[in-house]
Structure 1
Amino acid sequence: MRLRLLLLVTFSLSITVHQTVIAQIEAKGTVFEDANQNGVMDAGEIGISEVAVSNGKEVVLTDSKGEYSISINENDATVFVIKPAGYALPVNDLNQPQFFYIHKPNGSPELEYEGVKPTGVLPDAINFPLLKDESGDSFKVLLFGDPQPYSEQEVDYFDRDIVSELVGASGYEFGITLGDIVGDDLDLYQPYNQSILRIGLPWFNVYGNHDMNFDAETDQYADETFEVTFGPATYSFNEGKAHFIILDDVIYPRTDGESGYIGGFTETQLEFIENDLKHVPKDHLIVLAFHIPIFLPEGGKTFRISDRNRLFDLLKDYPQTLSLSAHTHIQKFHFFDEEEGWQRLSPHIHYNVGTTNGDWWSGVPNDRDVPETLMRDGTPNGYAILNIDGNEFTIDYKVANEPADYVMNMWGPKVVAQNTWHGAELYVNYFLGNEFTSVEYRIADQDEEWRDMAKVAEHDPHVAKLRQKWDLLESLPEDGRRPSNPVESDHLWKMRVPNNLPLGEQVIEIKVTDMFGRTFNESFSYKVAEPGYQR
């Protein structure tokens, strides 16, 4: 083992100032095809060349024998393989992919929640087994936003409302939880893991602001319990013609004089992305997954714009990109253009995924004893599905415990008075809607042509009604808690309900065409009646 001391020296006015001595050691090993899947490089098993290996900053490629060598910090480091397409990663007994080695000779600092135990001396060889896989370039990925349980009861809600319908599900390659895996109580990682295990898929986890060691003194040590439970918080891998980059984008504690956390990337992470992308073909789809969105709410300062600009600069040569986040407990698409620092003509698509716990498990429990937990923008709780075909993608959103074709909700009157003034309106909330969505309508048996509904930035009236019910209560219910107040929905359309029609039942046909060119049809029935009051 070779020890290298990097001594940083600065000269100023003939005075030598010695800065921090950074001790580095060399990690070595082989990336190999594990033919018998026992996790050990046996005689006859061969190394795989041209596979990327990283220390979280630098990226090196294995040689013709599958061997690599990379410098790491002698006191706190992670080495990981960047899985190439055509291979799968081994998983542990929790179905967590095993692609890394954590080196902490002295373990994590003393914290409220347990971190990494002392790992001791660096092994002579850190080998990474890969399994041959012929899945191809078309596959599906499950995306979970914010399970965020604050109690074992809420883990149970998550298990029964989300996980249960996916047990034994086929057709998915892997899953990703996009942060806020738990709600500050890191002891809940274990029941969460046991629940996810029931799905039966390899599962990746993103670090969120409620997954932190809040007693950590520096950002470096804020993820120690996450690290010992799930592995590194920043890494990447390939699947088909897609390259996934998983990022910790929670900076805690802040270094700008403000308290709490802020969204952003460290210098080390940005260097890792730059070095990582050197080995990714330009025609591949780049999928970035992190927790805090990179768009800013109105008047908000939730993400460091300088970090976002540097990320966009690193991505400028890739025409196919997608970034994923959660955190907000609403569902939203944001399309970045040149005005916001994106350097291509086609916008960068950022998808802020609706959450599995909806509005923090609020509301009155239903007949399954699970709170209704409708999000503030009218999106029911559920999960997303990323469908990848080559370097292109589509996205679906699956509402928990509802049929797959439940993609929109409607709100309108049951009856309107014929040929009188009225203000009754029909609202359509298409859960995956955005500015590239069209919503059209026509009156069944009356119209041949479709007409546009107006996209509006308003509160979904269904959400407002659920909240108003709590304001009208004379006493609190035995179970459940008041939901959060509604916010302007980013995927809401409305129209005036026609009443200049024959008496009796009328049907409004709805047609949604989404950003991917897919169409969805629904209908709304109401009654036209004789007015009971004449002005």
Structure 2
Amino acid sequence: MKKNLFGLLATGLVFAALTGIAQELAKGKVYEDLNKNGKWDKGEQGVAQVAVSNGVQVVLTDAKGQYELPVGEDNIVFVIKPSGYTVPLNEYYLHKSYYIHKPKGSPKELTYAGVDPTGPLPKSIDFALQKNTEKEEFRMLLFGDPQAYTAQEMTFFNRAIVDEVVGIQNVAFGLSLGDLVGDDLSLHPSYRASMARIGLPWYNLKGNHDMNYDVTADSLSDETFERNFGPANYSFNYGHVHFIVLDNVRYPNPRTGKGYLGGFRKDQLDFVENDLKHVDHSKLIVLAFHIPLEHRNGDTFRAEDRQRLFDLLKDYPHTLSLSAHMHTQTQHFYGKADGWKQEKPHHEYNAGTTSGDWYSGELDERGVPAATMRDGTPNGYAFIDFNKHDYRISYKPSGKDSTYQINLYHPKVVGQGKRTRAAIFANFFMGHHGNKVEFAIDGGKWEKMIPARTIDPAYSAILYPWDNLETLLPGRRPTDGMTSTHLWRVGLPIDLAVGEHKIKVRATDDYGRVHEATSTYRIEPTKDYPDLK
């Protein structure tokens, strides 16, 4: 341990000499807080072999629970929660597991307040742990992009999402995948208060709409986020899972100096490398960030950053990435052609969002916009069930029963035997075109549906009244549709008897679960065109 600390100190001194930035040595203790008062008392023992980080380097506590780390003038020192322990929570159910060291505070000219000056480095930065029974089988709750731009939209978020999960049981904790608000960072406290209503320990990460835009360096774009939520890059353990949470929005765009780009700074990937040195290869590594890794030839995500991340994960056979940002729902699988180093592809779940299509559409019975996303996925949230290094993801549409996993779209009535291009479309929200989707008519033989790469016609129908009525609808017109990655079609059978017929569709997901949807349509005698005179 001492050799490790001396090496880190030497590294910090060399860094200081090269950059001219003053370095200090942060010291402290990680201890078991027996009386849960949040401070170290006589008789409370240190906890050994717990990881602590300054955002780049990661060290383990010694036999007495002590650690040392170099810090500059803009560091957050945090404990990496070990399995079997919890850390104290504040009134918003956010973890009190870090210390911000900014002696001079954030830049004063920011539109939204950053961190106040923290003053001299404390003599000891101690972290409390409390023993906690953590099963290897547990459930977490996942939110994509709450992204309220106004107080009214925050009300929509509360009614459509938060009200559904207040007091939920048998969930270990929750995580929001960025864009906690929509550019107005003064709404961060309102978001925190909304999340506290749920009553779960909650983790957050930074999205492109949570940034300080009035800065010239990416390292300063998270000043208000740090004030309200703590570090933008951190990790923690629960059960047999190691979670790594990262800010992958680079601002300003390092290529153009304008806008943002998906990617990582070197110090962030150095943190991942140093963090993983202390993580057993048998664990499931779950990475969470805002912008998906799918880089589209590098124009939305820096390919070299993704490649280094993949290289760091090459010896971990159990991995999962979580992202949001797109306001659609997609399953990405990265193979060797994408730079992934293992035979088993790397799965990234690009989650549907709680705000859906940015709170657009007609109002429902709850007084909130329908907010169906551009690929036909309803707005909602997800659950992930873990069992050691295995996981299963489930999607819960807002305001719907949990069994609602497939939306069917087709004509309600057709002429018997009349030539038509009418089709049955099935949108399987959690699916991808590697899944099996089948249909049957009137309880007959199951037949395969065909993957369709097109806009969901059910979504196009949502746009119809906005574009064709001559009266103004309340709310906001939804965004134009986009190609869905989880849509199937088949021609509608018309050579059947006159009368009503039942459609049944079933889809098998990646975890072996079978989901079903039913609908009906009617066949009527064919009507010919009237004779032309």
Per the shorter chain, which TM-score range?
A: over 0.9
Q: State the alpha-carbon separation in 1 of the partners of residues 527 and 362 from structure 2.
A: 36
Residue 49 of structure 1 aligns to a residue whose secondary structure is coil
| 21-30 or 111-120, which deviates more | 21-30
2:3 aligns with: none
Aligned length: 521
1:181 aligns with: 180
1:69 aligns with: 68
2:335 aligns with: 337
Instruction: Please tell me the residue identity of whatever aligns with 2:41.
Output: D
Residue 269 of structure 2 aligns to a residue whose secondary structure is helix
Instruction: Please tell me the residue identity of whatever aligns with 1:270.
Output: L
What do the CA deviations read for 1:97-153 (whole angstroms, capped 9, x no partner)? 111110011111111111111111111111111111112111111111111111000
Structure 1 residues 89 and 19, CA gap change in structure 2 (3 angstroms)? closer
Q: State the alpha-carbon separation in 2 of the partners of residues 98 and 452 from structure 1.
A: 52
Deviation for aligned residue 1:509: 1.7
Deviation for aligned residue 1:21: 1.6
1:424 aligns with: 422
| 83-92 or 308-317, which deviates more | 83-92
Runs of 4+ in structure 1 deviating by more than 6 angstroms, as ranges, are 2-5
Residue 156 of structure 2 aligns to a residue whose secondary structure is helix
Tell me if structure 2 keeps the 8 A contact 1:95–1:203.
yes
1:221 aligns with: 220
Structure 1: tracts of 5 or more residues without a match: 10-17
1:506 aligns with: 501
Residue 462 of structure 1 aligns to a residue whose secondary structure is helix
What do the CA deviations read for 1:273-293 (whole angstroms, capped 9, x no partner)? 011111111111000000011
1:383 aligns with: 381
2:275 aligns with: 276
2:295 aligns with: 296
Alignment partner of 1:492 is 2:487:
yes
Tell me if structure 2 keeps the 8 A contact 1:457–1:488.
yes
Residue in structure 2 matching 1:482, options 467, 472, 477:
477
Residue in structure 1 matching 2:459, options 457, 463, 475:
463
Deviation for aligned residue 1:315: 0.3
2:442 aligns with: 444
1:146 aligns with: 145
Q: State the alpha-carbon separation in 1 of the partners of residues 391 and 197 from structure 2.
A: 27
Q: State the alpha-carbon separation in 2 of the partners of residues 305 and 247 from structure 1.
A: 17
Tell me if structure 1 keeps the 8 A contact 2:32–2:130.
yes
Instruction: Please tell me the residue identity of whatever aligns with 1:388.
Output: F
Instruction: Please tell me the residue identity of whatever aligns with 2:13.
Output: L
Alignment of 1:361-400 (within 5 A): 361-400=359-398
What do the CA deviations read for 1:193-230 (whole angstroms, capped 9, x no partner)? 11101000011111000101110121111110000100
Q: State the alpha-carbon separation in 1 of the partners of residues 81 and 18 from structure 2.
A: 37
Q: State the alpha-carbon separation in 2 of the partners of residues 365 and 515 from structure 1.
A: 34
1:47 aligns with: 46
Q: State the alpha-carbon separation in 2 of the partners of residues 39 and 29 from structure 1.
A: 14
Residue 308 of structure 1 aligns to a residue whose secondary structure is helix
Q: State the alpha-carbon separation in 2 of the partners of residues 281 and 251 from structure 1.
A: 30
Deviation for aligned residue 1:19: 4.8
Structure 1 residues 498 and 8, CA gap change in structure 2 (3 angstroms)? closer
Q: State the alpha-carbon separation in 2 of the partners of residues 29 and 408 from structure 1.
A: 53
What do the CA deviations read for 1:49-74 (whole angstroms, capped 9, x no partner)? 1100111111100011111111111x
What do the CA deviations read for 1:486-508 (whole angstroms, capped 9, x no partner)? 00001000111111112211112
Instruction: Please tell me the residue identity of whatever aligns with 1:235.
Output: Y
1:532 aligns with: 527
Q: State the alpha-carbon separation in 2 of the partners of residues 146 and 215 from structure 1.
A: 22
Residue 441 of structure 1 aligns to a residue whose secondary structure is strand
Q: State the alpha-carbon separation in 2 of the partners of residues 529 and 254 from structure 1.
A: 59
Q: State the alpha-carbon separation in 2 of the partners of residues 296 and 433 from structure 1.
A: 21
Instruction: Please tell me the residue identity of whatever aligns with 1:268.
Output: D
1:325 aligns with: 323
Q: State the alpha-carbon separation in 1 of the partners of residues 462 and 400 from structure 2.
A: 19
Residue 210 of structure 1 aligns to a residue whose secondary structure is helix
Q: State the alpha-carbon separation in 2 of the partners of residues 387 and 254 from structure 1.
A: 36
Q: State the alpha-carbon separation in 1 of the partners of residues 279 and 20 from structure 2.
A: 34
Residue 19 of structure 2 aligns to a residue whose secondary structure is coil
Alignment of 1:78-93 (within 5 A): 78-93=76-91
1:237 aligns with: 236
Instruction: Please tell me the residue identity of whatever aligns with 1:6.
Output: L
Residue 22 of structure 1 aligns to a residue whose secondary structure is coil
Q: State the alpha-carbon separation in 1 of the partners of residues 94 and 304 from structure 2.
A: 33
Residue 470 of structure 1 aligns to a residue whose secondary structure is helix
Deviation for aligned residue 1:475: 3.3
**Taking structure 2 as the reference length, what is the TM-score of the superposition?**
0.95
| 433-442 or 268-277, which deviates more | 433-442
Residue in structure 1 matching 2:515, options 508, 511, 520:
520
Tell me if structure 2 keeps the 8 A contact 1:28–1:69.
yes
| 497-506 or 260-269, which deviates more | 497-506
Instruction: Please tell me the residue identity of whatever aligns with 2:102.
Output: K
Tell me if structure 1 keeps the 8 A contact 2:384–2:394.
yes
Q: State the alpha-carbon separation in 2 of the partners of residues 375 and 184 from structure 1.
A: 20
Instruction: Please tell me the residue identity of whatever aligns with 1:66.
Output: G
Deviation for aligned residue 1:20: 2.6
1:355 aligns with: 353
Structure 2: tracts of 5 or more residues without a match: 1-5
Deviation for aligned residue 1:296: 2.8
Deviation for aligned residue 1:300: 6.7
Tell me if structure 2 keeps the 8 A contact 1:436–1:514.
no
Instruction: Please tell me the residue identity of whatever aligns with 2:214.
Output: D
Deviation for aligned residue 1:255: 2.2
**Taking structure 1 as the reference length, what is the TM-score of the superposition?**
0.95
Deviation for aligned residue 1:474: 1.6
- Aligned-pair identity (%): 49
Greater helix content: 2
